[in-house]
Amino acid sequence: MSTSDKDQIRAAEDRHHRDLWGAVVLQAKEDVETEPLSSINFTQAVAFFIGSGEWVKNRTAIGDYLDLHRDDLETMGRRCINVRRVSEGLEPLLPRQPWPVAARAPRPVGQRPEPQTPSLTERRQQPAPAGANPFFPRGIYATANSL
């Protein structure tokens, strides 16, 4: 294989990566614009655009593939987030303002939260239906709520 063939293959791979990361950015933008504000997809899209820590490293790497600076991605994302926030009747974020994280009510030290579902021991104590598969006593389509 000649050097020019290798260069053509490398260029094609770079185009594929660029297309992939372009699609990721467009999906994050769409999620900011359309997903419910309390959804995981909306939260992840916001984190993609304005999150700190590992998100900054990811924005930098993705920006490199797209010939953009990570700040350009953040600026575009923040603009979309603010348009959405204003359309929902919320205040826009200020430049460099972190994403507001919902505060949880403090729990007294040493107190465990009440379990929302029966414990594993309680579930094991419930009798399995007659003729049930011993590996899937609740059925193969059991969900977390039915366990």
Per-residue pLDDT of 88-130, as tens digits, reads 999 888 777 655 544 344 445 555 555 555 555 555 555 655 5
Instruction: Name residues whose C-beta falls within 8 Å of residue 84's C-beta, 6 or more positions apart in sequence.
Output: 32, 33, 37
What value does the CA radius of gyration of the chain take, rounded to a whole number of Å? 24
Above 50 in pLDDT, residue 8?
yes
Is the distance from CB of 42 to CB of 36 less than 8 angstroms?
Answer: yes
Is residue 56's pLDDT more than 70? yes
